[in-house]
Amino acid sequence: MILQSSPETCHFGYFDGSEKAVEQVESGDSITIETVSGGLGDLPAEGFNILPEHLAICDALRPSPGPHILTGPIAVEGAQPGDVLEVRIEAVDLRQDWGWTVIRPGRGTLPEDFPQGRLWHSRIDIARREAILPWGAPLKLAPFFGIMGVAPAPERGRIGSIEPGAHGGNIDLKELVAGTTLYLPVWAAGALFSVGDGHAVQGDGEVCLTALETALTGRFTLILRKDLSLSLPIAQTPTHLITLGFDADLDVAAKIALRAMIAQIQARTPRTAQEAYMLCSLAADLRVTQLVDGEKGVHVMLAREWVED
């Protein structure tokens, strides 16, 4: 099953629990999803190949309240609030020969130091999975989707695409490459999964506001988990368990992510809360996911050997 990006299959800048699904799958189905990234002002003037559907989406849809073009939502048969959606990221592929990076005045980690905006475009060699930065330096790529999320509870109404939260959304976690699994708590009937904000590569922090933004295609297996209960997203790579915390205060985000890891250790092992806390001090890494999305992100990484038999 392939869900192409188009004005009919995309929404621009928001998540909404009342949004009508553009596709429906059963638990365990795999789906390939095409995405594009950027508004008209982010596109190159010449010298690069712009996907025709990207122009059509920008012409037909207006961003509100966020700036991200998302493909979806996709309903999962039988999903209800309180369930968990397991999103297995099977593949992430580059779709175009360019990406963009921008500084926007008043945004980013150091707005006081960089009051002037700047936009640049980097050429992407899809076969080599490599970008050439504007001054000619090559950069190896590790593509992932900055946004993967489900709809919020309908009573929350429409929420913007900028801030991450309990629904997932703009997590900007660079570990979410092919081979990683993301677990999202479900808040609305059908889950209503959407994806976008393709990143060819990003550093932890995403400090200037953007990564190397580009169009991606992802293949996902969506599995409904009624045997799990989560209040925040977690992720699992082939080697690590990852918990996430979001808050406008970076210290609070760190505490949320750390408490979530302690809870996961307790749920998966005989360790007490004190033992789990002390283990985290020895074996877990706290990293800044991003500093630029209003709700800052911290993730905790713990080798899976500590929570698996």
| SS3 of the chain | CEECCCCCCEEECEEECCCCCCEEECCCCEEEEECCCCCHHHCCCCCCCCCHHHHHHHHHCCCCCCCCEEEEEEEECCCCCCCEEEEEEEEEEECCCEEEEEECCCCCCCCCCCCCCEEEEEEEECCCCEEECCCCCEEECCCEEEEEECCCCHHHCEEECCCCECCEEECCCCCCCCCCEEEEECCCCCCCEEEEEEECCCCCECCCCCCCECCEEEEEEEEEECCCCCCCCEEECCCEEEEEEEECCHHHHHHHHHHHHHHHHHHHCCCCHHHHHHHHHHHCEEEEEECCCCCEEEEEEEEHHHCCC
CATH number of the domain at 37, please.
Answer: 2.60.120.580
CATH number of the domain at 262, please.
Answer: 3.10.28.20
Kindly report, residue by residue over 280-289, the tens digit of the pLDDT: 999 999 999 9
* 47 vs 76, more confident: 76
Instruction: Give the domain-ending residue among 191, 225, 259.
Output: 225
> Residue 170 — pLDDT band, cuts 50, 70, 90?
very high
> Residue 47 — pLDDT band, cuts 50, 70, 90?
confident
In a domain, 297, yes or no: yes
- Residue numbers of the domain that contains 269: 239-306
Q: Do 41 and 127 sit in the same domain of this protein?
A: yes
> Residue 46 — pLDDT band, cuts 50, 70, 90?
confident
Mean pLDDT for the chain overall: 97
Give pLDDT, residue 60.
98
Q: Do 45 and 136 sit in the same domain of this protein?
A: yes
Give pLDDT, residue 88.
98
Instruction: Give the domain-ending residue among 197, 225, 253.
Output: 225
Is residue 309 predicted with pLDDT exceeding 80?
Answer: no
